[in-house]
Amino acid sequence: MEKIKDVMSERAQRRNEFKVESLRSGARANPDILGAEVQEVLDERLCDNTVTPPPDAAAFRIDFPQWRSTWSDRDRRLIDLLMFDARTKDAARKLSLSTGRISQKRREFHADWLRFHREDALSLFLQGSDVV
């Protein structure tokens, strides 16, 4: 029996009068929905890109461990759990934290990662590098 709250369920789609379909087929079947330029952008963004450019991969291999080392042991364990797609609930249980705290930490990690990269970019700029 299909769950009524599952958006992928045909029963839920019929009952709530909506339909789930791929963006490609939906837009192609009804060209008035999206213009050609918007469709091209969507196609590009939805394309599975599993190849990271070598310079980006090399930078990440250097930067991530350095950034990660700035956190406490407990935070590093949380970063590792989140990195490997642990659910918030599971990470909270493993580290004896609330799910709300896990969400807060996730935002802290994200903000700090962005700050870390801005500092790297700024230091490169100040050193006169064109690569920012």
Residue 14 has pLDDT above 90, yes or no: no
CB of 106 closer than 8 Å to CB of 82: yes
Residue 9 pLDDT: 85
CATH number assigned to the domain comprising residue 114: 1.10.10
Number of domains in the chain: 2
CB of 103 closer than 8 Å to CB of 111: no
Domain region containing 33? 10-46
Do residues 75 and 28 both lie within one domain? Answer: no
Residue 60 has pLDDT above 70, yes or no: yes
Residues 6+ apart with CB under 8 A from 50: none
Alpha-carbon gap, residue 20 to 11, rounded angstroms: 12
Do residues 59 and 122 both lie within one domain? Answer: yes
Within-domain flag for 1: no
Within-domain flag for 4: no
Alpha-carbon gap, residue 77 to 68, rounded angstroms: 10
pLDDT in tens, 27-45: 555 555 556 666 666 666 6
pLDDT in tens, 77-113: 999 999 888 889 999 999 999 999 999 999 999 889 9
